[in-house]
Each structure stands twice: as C-alpha cells, then as structure tokens.
Amino acid sequence: MRGPAAVALAVLLAPGLAACSEDEKAPRREALEFGECGERVDTTPVPPERADALTFTCATLDVPLFHAEPDGEQLPMAVVRVRDARQHDRIGSIVLNPGGPGNPGLGWIAGWAARMPDEVLERFDLVSFDPRGTGLSEGINCPDLPSTGEPTRRIDLTVEDDYQYALDLVRQGSESCAEAIGADRVPAFSTTATAADLDVLRSALGDEQLTYVGFSYGAKLGAAYAHQFPDRVRALVLDAPSDPRSDWLGLMVRQIEGFERAFEEYADDCPNRPTCARLGDPRAALATLVDRADGMPVPSGRPNGDVPMSGIDVLQGTTGLLFASNLWPLLDDGLGEALLGDSGTLHEAIDQTTHRVADGDGPDASEALAVINCTDEAGAATRAEVLAAARAMGRRSPTYAPLGSWWLMACQGWVPDRVPLEQPTAPDAPPLLVVGTRHDPATPYPGAVSLAETLGSGHLLTWEGYGHTAYLRESPCVDEIVDAYLLELTVPADGALCPA
C-alpha cells in the first residue's frame, strides 16, 4: 500500500467465531519451544549494562486459521520472549502489542526491554508476537491496496467523478488483495481472530490468566480479548485506544482533527526550536509546500525510487512526525528540505509510521492494517454519510481535510467479506487500566474515556501530556501507576491525573 489510506489505517473476523463463555474451559496448549532468535530480533536498543542480564529467545506457535475449525489449517505465529537472569518470585508473562494494526511485535520487543523498570523485569517475562498477517506470521502482501504508483491526487468528495475514482481505487485494490491471499482467507485476518490467538498464546506460555499491555490498536485488541475471555484476564493495560462507540467515519473526523490540533501546537512552539528558524512561519511554509507539490510533485533524494510527493503526500508525511514533541525538529527539517526540493525525510516518516518496505518488494505493515481494519468494519457508509463527514472535517480541520478525504474512503470500496468487531464489554472482568493522553493526535483522548465506560470494568488514568501513548515514554507518574497495577493489581482512583 502506498496511498494516504495507509496512514489512516495505521493509526488506527474469522467467520462464525463466537465469544467464549466463562463456563467453557480454556484450551491447554503444549509449552512453546524457545530457541535462539538470530536475525529475527534486533537487540541493539538494549544498553550494554542491561543486555548482560537479558536473554532473548524465539518460538513459533501454530494457531488455527479459523478458530471455529481448530483442527483445520494452521497459521504459524512468531513469538519472542525476554527473560531477566535476576528474575525471582515470577508472576508470569506480560504480553505486549505495539498497535497498528500491522506492527510486528518482534520489532518492538528490544525497545520495551530497554525501558521496562527492573522491578517489572525481575517478576515477569516480556513476550510479544507478530499478529496474524504481519511480519513473520504470514505477512499479508497486497501491494496494490490501493495504489496508482503515482503522486496522490487531491479529491473533492462532493464531485461525483472524484468520489467514484477513490471508490474504484479501493475496490480494485481489495479485489487484487483477495486474489493474492484467497478470498476465503481474507476474513481470517481480523481483530476477533487475533484476540483468540492471544488466548492460545496465553495458554502456551503456561499462564492461567493474561497480563497484557497494548498500545493504540493494541488497546483495541486487548479490549476485544476482555470481551471474549473476561475470566482469563489478570491485568490489561489499554494505552491510547480509539473510541469503540464510533464508526469509521467518526474516527477519521476526530483523528484528522487531532493532527490539525497537533500541527497548531507544533507551529506555536516554533520560537522554542532552533531548527524551526529556517521555516519562518510553519503554517505558511506547509501551505506553500502543499500548493507547490500539487503543481509539481517533490522528488526524493533517497536512492530507492520514491514516488515524488504531491501535496496530499506531504500532509501524510507530516502526520508521523506529529506523534510526539521530540519529533518536531525532524518535521522542521523535513519541511525545510522539501521546500528545497527533497522529500526524502517525509518519505522516511511514512516508512516509519507504516513499516513500509521501501523497495515495495514483500509485505509491509500498511497492507496488513488495511485488511484488518476494513475486515473489522461493519460495512460501507452511504455517500451522504461520507459527504457529511467530509464537510465536518473541512470545518474543523482545514489544513488536513484534503488528506482526510482519502482517509474517509479507505474502506468504502472494500469487496471481501467483513467480520465486524463487536463493541467491547467486560463487566465481569477484573479491573482494567485504560490510559489516555490529553493531547494525543492519533487516538484523541475522548476514546479512552469512552472505552473505560464501555468496558464496565475500566479504570481511567489521564496523562496531561502530548503525543501518542503514555506508558514507557516520559511520565514517571504514569509509569509508577502502570507498574503498580502490573505488579500488585492496584488500580488508581477514579479521575486519576498525571501532569504533563
């Protein structure tokens, strides 16, 4: 996938699969056989003083392609475990998911191991996995989903030809994807199915109940697990969730609004950054660049054949650099370089956001997230509903609305069968910790409030900070509360706040 729908889907099921009742006995899987990871895991993010105590091992777990057919076709799922040599009084495993959907966990495990406090590492194994359809777990390869191989054109959804163009592009891409994967297999790559995989993994790890940390889409996955298996939960940390009550159009309107607000905060902070001096006024710089790129797409100085960037592509490239304030100097550089005729830094931002394969050969995360998100959706909206959302987006987010028009259409022309994700409720689960960041551009804060309410067992922790996700970033307050929950199952008081 190369179009702007990739970022929309990045920043944010098996037929006949039913939620298991509490009376059903959890299946017991054979213990995993862990061995050396080799090149599957890059451990360089771990500092040497910590690396000496940590052992990284990998395994493969077979899970049913369709959980309603447990003895049918199996799908190999890549798993990684980190164990501390100082471990004592072991509680079990913490399974972590980085989000996406589409991000492979094996690529994130070393970063978590580098930042996790000693008191947690000494009581838990850290475990992650490449969810079905990602990374080493039969990564989805749908390179035409959707793509023209050219700079992305601007569309006006009030114009029939533009609406039909976007609709046809998604339809053709999804048909090509169904042909590549197998039309009968596409519904297997879903959040509901991945939540069931998570339970198979829990059993194979030998844990009676699941301890889990999920970021962004990973919070959505964790909530789906609690919905299906409330009696098998020990502790779930659901950090930066989207709003489970919202449909796709509503999520996209609010997400674009989040990036609009984040860009305003970035621009207001310009006087505090030496790197911003070259831009002058970032608002004017971005507007100039977008208009210029729409007339003559900006080439890339990278040697891997990047498609020149249109104005829409420029907007897409900025979104990944608005995820956290420490990325703002890089955004300054990216805009400045693009104004001088080199879009390479903005292309790199897209690659990092979507785990895009630069040469286009083989699967990347953006293709998996398209399949997963569109399979999860209940169905296409009417054109009138899309137009209403586009108008709302234009009023609230004038800078980013042109990009948002593509985001609204991301699943409109989806052809393969869908398996809608149920709204998660888990009133009988133990207390679940939902973490929301007040100034989160990718999954705006109201989503965390909504999920905590919807679950019926959620306890909300609010960080008054900036950026996407909160745990293991820059808030000692958040980290202390989450660590206490993981270790002691202590939940914060209602309305708990951590300062920025």
What is the domain partition of the chain in residue ranges? 8-140+186-246+421-498, 248-408
332 catalytically annotated: no
- Give the single-character DSSP code of 278: G
Q: Output the pLDDT for position 146.
A: 63
Q: Output the pLDDT for position 29.
A: 62
DSSP H stretches of helix in 229-358: 248-268, 282-295, 311-319, 328-339, 344-354
231-268 burial code (b ≥16 CB/10 A, e <16): ebbbbbbbbbbbbbeeebbebbbbbbbbbbbbbeebbe
What angle (nearest 5°) sits at the alpha carbon of residue 154, between those of residues 150 and 158?
A: 140
Residues whose CB is less than 8 angstroms from the CB of residue 255 and which lie 6 or more positions away in sequence, other chains included:
8, 11, 12, 407, 441, 442, 443, 444
- Residues 331 and 31: their CA atoms lie apart, in Å, by 46
Strand partners, 298: 309
- The domain 8-140+186-246+421-498 is placed in CATH, from the list 1.20.1280.290, 3.40.50.1820, 3.40.630.10, 2.170.120.12, at 3.40.50.1820
Q: Output the pLDDT for position 19.
A: 35
93 catalytically annotated: no
124-129 and 233-239 strand pairing: unpaired
pLDDT digits (tens, 9 = 90+) for 222-254: 999 999 999 999 999 999 999 999 999 999 999
Which of 404, 397, 453 minimizes the C-alpha distance to 427? Answer: 453
pLDDT beneath 50, residues of the chain:
1-2, 5-26, 357-362
DSSP H stretches of helix in 23-155: 48-51, 109-115, 118-121
pLDDT digits (tens, 9 = 90+) for 172-198: 999 999 999 999 999 999 999 999 999
- Catalytic option among 199, 376, 440, 479: 440
Q: Is 305 exposed, middle or buried (0-12, 13-18, 19+ CB in 10 A)?
A: exposed
Strand partners, 93: 125
Task: Name the one residue in this structure whose structure tokens are 């990739």.
Answer: 6
- Catalytic option among 93, 468, 475, 483: 468
- Catalytic option among 216, 242, 450, 457: 216
216 catalytically annotated: yes
The count of other CB atoms within 10 Å of the CB of residue 398 is 10
211-227 burial code (b ≥16 CB/10 A, e <16): bbbbbbbbbbbbbbbbb
Task: Name the one residue in this structure whose structure tokens are 């213990």.
Answer: 31
Q: Output the pLDDT for position 14.
A: 28
Starting from the edge strand earliest in sequence, which strands make up the sheet with 74-84, in order? 35-36, 54-64, 74-84, 124-129, 92-97, 210-215, 233-239, 432-439, 458-466, 496-498
124-129 and 74-84 strand pairing: antiparallel
Cα 45 to the chain's mean position, in Å?
21
Q: Output the pLDDT for position 359.
A: 41
